[in-house]
Amino acid sequence: MKKAQVVLVPSPGIGHLVPAIEFAKRLLDQDDSFLITVFVITKAPFGPDPDTCNQSMLTTIDTRIQYITLPKVTPPDLDPLRSPENYFTTFMEAHKPLVRDAVVNQVMSIKPAVPVVGLVVDLFCASMIDVANELGISSYVYFASSAAFLGLLLYLPTRQEQAGIEFKETDPDLIVSCFANPVPARVMPSVLLNKDGGYTCFENLGRRFMEAKGIVVNSFAELESHAVRSFSGGGAPPVYTVGPLVNINGHSLMGSNLDQHGKILEWLDDQREKSVVFLCFGSIGRFREAQVKEIALGLEQSGHRFLWSIRKPPLEGHSALPSDYNNFEEVLPDGFLERTKNIGMVCGWAPQMQVLAHKSIKGFVSHCGWNSILESLWHGVPVVTWPMHAEQQINAFQMVKDLGLAVEMTLDYRMRSNNLVMADKIAKSVECVMEEDREVRNRVNAMSEASRKAVMEGGSSFSAIGDLIKDMLS
């Protein structure tokens, strides 16, 4: 087949880069005639430094993909703490000249010439559609979150014409076609409650998405059938559900403590099958000391075996990522480690995909990041919802209320809030996922099977990628 080039422009950060690479791998698995280049932005305005991200590991993940590292730009003169999303989007827009130059001078210039049939941008890179338009290239959006959240973003320009202001937590429940149930304002993503440019930023993103030739979503039709149907006849670009795109081999681009990971997996090997609840809250999830103590007390009350990943918050007012504790006793209740040494393990950064795949894991207390949800469904592990930031509140709502695939602990917790989830509620939620959630577990097991079938030949996502390839090559 004739060669064609595709360029991916993910935002900086592990949560954006890894899903983009997984999409590139899936595209190549289905049609190896593509030449795929991923533009790597090594320095986010906040987040891990390039050394932490371990750029040298990129080429070991899949040698079929070419990586081009873009030069650094000066961060915008905005306060990232007032509206991180607006700051991030502005930062990405400053990369437009660099992306254009890299496409022209490093991608289009190869000999013999190979046409570029798609510039694929992610959530915060929608402004790169301008580059595609200027160069006469078709633009596609790669959306690493749920189809339902995509539908909410596409709805925002319409809402803007009707209401003209950001959401308030006291607003009445919202009817949005991509959700099966009315959506309480309290579970809206924090960005849509933000008066400092966050809401306007996302409303503009929803408007820009409508200009793309197509939108690729990391989901699958069987999981979000209601949301996927809502796009029919709505004037949106074609939506291709190509997921779940999960990092099955567990490659990590973060600095990994392999010795610690080995100890975690050895400890799990010693536990009974389906006897452990896993608590892990993503690359930026962290709690204040008072909340950590409530979690510890709740785990003790539940009496269940646990593996708990605890991260240390950055200093107040800083936007750095959490780090690992040198001594867990500085944050845990007195005597907790001694009292629970026979039933639990406390660790820092954990190899989440490998843990979820382990036979001893039965439940997963999660921040409800979309990647984590897909990983848990892939391995048939029910989630207990503890959303923290980004779109995680709306993910938790959908999983509990629309899909019946998760146990509710909280739907509206926010990382910067002063609210405490108390030990009794934590214990009850853990007991529920470990003992009483037969209906949820049956649903999760069925969806696990569906997720694996979706990406096999003849499956819904396999077919969607085929349709996308035809569209790119047309």
Q: Which two tokens stand for residue 207?
A: 């408007």
Q: Which two tokens stand for residue 328?
A: 């867990």
Query: Rounded to an integer, what distance in angstroms lies between the CA atom of residue 45 and that of residue 266?
Result: 37
Q: How confident is the model at residue 50 (pLDDT cuts 50, 70, 90)?
A: very low
Q: What is the pLDDT of residues 376-423, one digit of tens each?
A: 999 999 999 999 989 999 999 999 999 999 999 999 999 877 789 999
Same structural domain for residues 186 and 43? yes
Residue 40 lies in a domain: yes
Q: How confident is the model at residue 81 (pLDDT cuts 50, 70, 90)?
A: confident
Same structural domain for residues 124 and 232? yes
N-terminal to C-terminal alpha carbon distance within the chain:
13
Query: What does 359-420 look like in DSSP terms, one character per residue?
Result: TTEEEEEE---HHHHHHHHHTT-PEEE---STTHHHHHHIIIIIS--EEES-SS--TT----
% of residues, the chain, pLDDT over 70? 92
Q: What is the pLDDT of residues 157-178, one digit of tens each?
A: 988 888 777 888 899 999 999 9
Residue 196 lies in a domain: yes
Q: What is the mean pLDDT of residues 82-98?
A: 91
- pLDDT surpasses 50 at 58: yes
Strand 214-217: give its sheet, edge to edge: 65-69, 34-40, 4-9, 116-121, 139-143, 214-217, 239-241
In this prediction, residue 51 carries a pLDDT of 41
Same structural domain for residues 186 and 278? no
Query: Rounded to an integer, what distance in angstroms lies between the CA atom of residue 409 and that of residue 400?
Result: 10
- pLDDT surpasses 80 at 322: no
Same structural domain for residues 337 and 384? yes
**Which residues are identified as catalytic?**
16, 122
Query: Rounded to an integer, what distance in angstroms lies between the CA atom of residue 130 and that of residue 137?
Result: 10
The SS3 call for residue 348 is coil
Other CB atoms closer than 10 Å to residue 1's CB: what's the count? 9
% of residues, the chain, pLDDT over 90? 71
List of residues 6+ apart from 144 with CB closer than 8 A: 15, 16, 19, 20, 122, 123, 218, 370, 371
Same structural domain for residues 123 and 208? yes
Same structural domain for residues 35 and 129? yes
Count of the separate structural domains present in the chain: 2
Q: How confident is the model at residue 196 (pLDDT cuts 50, 70, 90)?
A: confident
Domain of 113: which CATH number?
3.40.50.2000
Q: What is the pLDDT of residues 450-463, one digit of tens each?
A: 999 999 999 999 99
Same structural domain for residues 195 and 288? no
Contact status, residue 6 vs residue 120, Cβ threshold 8 Å: yes
In this prediction, residue 250 carries a pLDDT of 56
In this prediction, residue 401 carries a pLDDT of 97
Residue 355 lies in a domain: yes
- pLDDT surpasses 70 at 202: yes
List of residues 6+ apart from 389 with CB closer than 8 A: 190, 284, 285, 367, 414, 415
- 469 vs 417: which has the higher pLDDT: 469
In this prediction, residue 179 carries a pLDDT of 98
Of 398, 379, 383, nearest to 452 by C-alpha is 379
Of 85, 79, 367, nearest to 206 by C-alpha is 85
Q: What is the mean pLDDT of residues 15-29?
A: 90
Q: Which two tokens stand for residue 190?
A: 């924090």
Of 280, 269, 286, nearest to 321 by C-alpha is 286
Of 374, 430, 388, nearest to 282 by C-alpha is 388
Range with the poorest average pLDDT among 30-39, 84-93, 369-378: 84-93
- pLDDT surpasses 60 at 1: no
For residue 75, the 8-state DSSP code is: P
* Partners of residue 364 on adjacent β-strands: 278, 383
Residue 42 lies in a domain: yes
Same structural domain for residues 195 and 120? yes
- 87 vs 316: which has the higher pLDDT: 87
Residue 289 lies in a domain: yes
List of residues 6+ apart from 29 with CB closer than 8 A: none
Same structural domain for residues 238 and 299? no
Same structural domain for residues 299 and 447? yes
Our separate counts of H helices and E strands in the chain read 18, 13
- pLDDT surpasses 60 at 326: yes
pTM for the full predicted model: 0.93
Q: What is the mean pLDDT of residues 185-206?
A: 92
- 219 vs 195: which has the higher pLDDT: 219
Average pLDDT along the chain = 90
Same structural domain for residues 327 and 382? yes
Query: Rounded to an integer, what distance in angstroms lies between the CA atom of residue 98 and that of residue 90?
Result: 14
- pLDDT surpasses 50 at 49: no
Same structural domain for residues 160 and 68? yes
- 142 vs 48: which has the higher pLDDT: 142
Residue 251 lies in a domain: no
- 326 vs 362: which has the higher pLDDT: 362
* Partners of residue 346 on adjacent β-strands: 308
Q: How confident is the model at residue 57 (pLDDT cuts 50, 70, 90)?
A: low
Range with the poorest average pLDDT among 35-49, 213-227, 278-292, 319-333: 35-49
Residue 282 lies in a domain: yes
Q: What is the pLDDT of residues 91-101, one digit of tens each?
A: 999 999 999 99
- pLDDT surpasses 90 at 142: yes
Q: What is the mean pLDDT of residues 286-290?
A: 90
Q: What is the pLDDT of residues 206-236, one digit of tens each?
A: 999 999 999 999 999 999 999 999 998 778 8
For 97-104, the CB contacts below 8 A with 24+ separation are 98/70, 98/71, 98/73, 99/9, 99/39, 99/70, 99/128, 99/131, 100/131, 100/134, 100/135, 102/39, 102/68, 102/70, 103/7, 103/131, 103/135, 103/137, 104/135
Query: What does 396-407 look like in DSSP terms, one character per residue?
Result: HHIIIIIS--EE
In this prediction, residue 438 carries a pLDDT of 84
Residue 248 lies in a domain: no
In this prediction, residue 139 carries a pLDDT of 98
**Residue 233 is part of which domain span?**
4-243+455-473
Query: Rounded to an integer, what distance in angstroms lies between the CA atom of residue 306 and that of residue 271?
Result: 10
- pLDDT surpasses 50 at 110: yes
For residue 136, the 8-state DSSP code is: T
Q: Phi/psi zone of residue 202: left (φ > 0), alpha (ψ -120 to 50 degrees), beta? A: alpha
